[in-house]
Structure 1
Amino acid sequence: MNQNPATRMTNRRKFIQISSALSVGALLPLQFCSPAKKEESTTDAILDAAKGILDDFGLQLYSVKENMAEDPVATIKSVAGFGYTQLEGFDGGKGIFWGMSPTDFKKLMDDLGVKFIASHANTFENLEQQAEQAGSIGMQYLICPWVGPQKSMDDFKRLADDFNKQGEICKKHGVKFAYHNHGYTFDTLDGQIPQDYLMENTDPGLVDFEMDTYWVYTAGKDPIEYIKKYPGRFTLGHVKDKSGDLPFSEANGSTIVGTGIMDFPSILRAGMDNGMKYFIVEQERFEGTNPMDAAEKNAAYMKNLVF
């Protein structure tokens, strides 16, 4: 393809906005088109009928890491009130349960009607204990969030073996293991793409992947092409948008979802069609706003997302 990722995403966004409205309009019951309802325009009817495809979506709590460090319970209560039905955690120095016992943490989630589906964690240390605790409260995943750039493909080959072993430990406790990508796994190394090697040399029964769509996109790859290339392997996805106000090469360029240049209706449609089960908002840059306000705006976008 000759178009760059930004152009392709912009074109897809324009197409999906038009086609979504047309397809929904074609499926509207006759009463929406009846002349008797003069007070409601056809456009309003289409928007009302089309509103909200995702029943469940989540937030990576790293998006509000400063608030979590200050008061994790109050922060979790607030983001639950924004409409997130799922949360993905991280280890902020007090463990993935933020100083609470696993059962106390689960009670907090249950009281709020939110599911703690997964957490980023150091899966290279104390994995047995972490997996046992995660399994005991019904978590779905423990996720390795970072391995860093490697010197050679031999290093990634060793990581593939490590991931398979970590997957076995997690499976024993009823939890799944996943790896979360950054851009470096999409950079050619020794003539190979490390991400491809990891996906093709890990056991699908033991290792899943969490696609950080932002890092795939900013590495110059097409998230949709990768989702389709490896159906069923990207079971989780980070919904993180790229600002169009910054140079494309700017690494820290995330923005409120729906205001950037990534075509999430098309990306998430491809995800749903190819085995992606969890859609998790993440934002790391907050120019002109604060993390909690951004989390609320991101939730509003996800609740009204049509694709």
Structure 2
Amino acid sequence: MPVRAVQQFQLRTVMGTEKKAAETMQLMKAAGYNGIELNGFMIKKMPMIVRVLTRMAGMPMGKSGNLDWKKLIAQSGLEVVSIHEDLGSILRVPEEIIEETKTFHTKYIVITGMHQFDYSDKNAVLELTEKLNKAGKLLKEGGVSLLYHNHNCEFRKVEPGKTAYDLILERTDPEYVNFEFDSYWPTEAGVDALEMMERLGERMKLYHINDRGTRVKGKTESILKSDSMELGYGNMNLKAMVETAKKYGVEAVILESHKNWIEKSPVKSFQVSAEFMNKYV
């Protein structure tokens, strides 16, 4: 049975103090979640550039980097399923990243799409795959596994019929690099996420789940803008995706809705999504 987890980034506005963080994690437990996915930049002092870019994207940050996360996690009873880190830090100070995983008793480090990176540049993507293999090898020497987490940028074409994600999948060594698949973003990019999960197979170690739809009341125009939704309230075939993830042995299914929360509350949002998680995961 996969761990049911929530990504820390969803919780960023309700973890500004140790008291609020502890209360939020207890609400997670009460809702049926038994895991959390951490972000390195949220459990340490946040670089100014990260704070600025996050705010520019319309997603305010809390002050969770000031908290004692080792103590908070120990008290929460939640399992840390992985930690998101950046590729540069892994290549520069792998020993610090490895030590971080030991602190939180996890085995997965996850990196996400590169900032200001041209995923339509085939040579740049090939260079990225080489760095991923190198980073994965460095981590493996310390008993840690590297996973790559997608957004929608990886589904740009590097040549007719081939996306950057295709290239990453083909050119990374499964011994050193595997995947945390997020089905929301390929769906947003017009890609068949279920088919992609089948292609990943057992290289898909963790699964990020979210739904996609609209939250509009009353009369509307003929074209609506889709956004993140609570599980089961959008139009994605999440039941089939969860079954596929379980078929290939994913170790955790991780909820992350972005900012379009019901009642503008990340807590209410994960409580509503818990009904689906508890029933199908």
Question: Counterparts of 2:123 and 2:15 in 1: how far apart (Å)?
Answer: 38
Task: Report the 3-state secondary structure (helix = DSSP H, G, I; strand = E; otherwise coil) of the residue aligned with 2:235.
Answer: coil
For the structure 1 residues 228 and 295, does the alpha-carbon distance in structure 2 shift closer, same or farther, using more than 3 Å as the test? same
Task: Report the 3-state secondary structure (helix = DSSP H, G, I; strand = E; otherwise coil) of the residue aligned with 1:257.
Answer: coil
- Residue 134 of structure 1 and its aligned partner are, at CA, apart by 0.8
- Could you tell me which of 251, 271, 283 is aligned with 2:245? 271
Letter matched to residue 137 of structure 2 = E
2:82 is equivalent to residue 142 of structure 1: no
Task: Report the 3-state secondary structure (helix = DSSP H, G, I; strand = E; otherwise coil) of the residue aligned with 2:181.
Answer: strand
Task: Report the 3-state secondary structure (helix = DSSP H, G, I; strand = E; otherwise coil) of the residue aligned with 2:207.
Answer: strand
Aligned to 1:112: 76
2:15 is equivalent to residue 68 of structure 1: yes
Aligned to 1:302: 277
1:89-238 matches, cutoff 5 A: 89-95=38-44, 98-99=65-66, 105=70, 107-125=71-89, 126-148=93-115, 149-150=117-118, 152-191=121-160, 192-238=162-208
For the structure 1 residues 172 and 98, does the alpha-carbon distance in structure 2 shift closer, same or farther, using more than 3 Å as the test? farther
Letter matched to residue 109 of structure 2 = L
For the structure 1 residues 72 and 91, does the alpha-carbon distance in structure 2 shift closer, same or farther, using more than 3 Å as the test? farther
For structure 2, list consecutive stretches of 5 or more residues without a partner in the other structure.
46-63, 217-221
Question: Counterparts of 2:73 and 2:43 in 1: how far apart (Å)?
Answer: 18
For the structure 1 residues 173 and 100, does the alpha-carbon distance in structure 2 shift closer, same or farther, using more than 3 Å as the test? farther
- Residue 199 of structure 1 and its aligned partner are, at CA, apart by 0.8
Aligned to 1:290: 265
Bigger shift: 69-78 or 287-296?
A: 69-78
- Native 8 Å contact 2:43 2:66 kept in 1: yes
Give the length in aligned residue pairs: 249
Question: Counterparts of 2:29 and 2:8 in 1: how far apart (Å)?
Answer: 11
Deviation digits for residues 82-115 of structure 1 (CA, Å, limit 9, x no counterpart): 22111101134542984456xx61x543443210
2:80 is equivalent to residue 80 of structure 1: no
Deviation digits for residues 40-71 of structure 1 (CA, Å, limit 9, x no counterpart): xxxxxxxxxxxxxx563111111111112344
For the structure 1 residues 154 and 267, does the alpha-carbon distance in structure 2 shift closer, same or farther, using more than 3 Å as the test? same
Question: Counterparts of 2:37 and 2:103 in 1: how far apart (Å)?
Answer: 17
- Residue 298 of structure 1 and its aligned partner are, at CA, apart by 1.4
- Residue 248 of structure 1 and its aligned partner are, at CA, apart by 8.5
Q: Larger C-alpha radius of gyration, 1 or 2?
A: 1
- Native 8 Å contact 2:212 2:235 kept in 1: yes
TM-score, normalization: structure 1? 0.73
- Residue 223 of structure 1 and its aligned partner are, at CA, apart by 1.4
Task: Report the 3-state secondary structure (helix = DSSP H, G, I; strand = E; otherwise coil) of the residue aligned with 1:95.
Answer: coil
- Native 8 Å contact 1:218 1:248 kept in 2: no
2:224 is equivalent to residue 260 of structure 1: no
Bigger shift: 90-99 or 209-218?
A: 90-99
Bigger shift: 279-288 or 262-271?
A: 279-288
Bigger shift: 239-248 or 134-143?
A: 239-248
Letter matched to residue 144 of structure 1 = I
- Residue 136 of structure 1 and its aligned partner are, at CA, apart by 4.4
Aligned to 2:50: none
For the structure 1 residues 82 and 258, does the alpha-carbon distance in structure 2 shift closer, same or farther, using more than 3 Å as the test? same
- Could you tell me which of 177, 190, 213 is aligned with 1:243? 213
- Native 8 Å contact 2:2 2:250 kept in 1: no
Aligned to 1:18: none
Taking every aligned residue pair, what percent have the same amino acid on both sides? 22
- Residue 245 of structure 1 and its aligned partner are, at CA, apart by 4.8
TM-score, normalization: structure 2? 0.80
For structure 1, list consecutive stretches of 5 or more residues without a partner in the other structure.
1-53
Query: Which has more strand, going by share of residues?
Result: 2
For the structure 1 residues 248 and 207, does the alpha-carbon distance in structure 2 shift closer, same or farther, using more than 3 Å as the test? farther
Letter matched to residue 241 of structure 2 = I
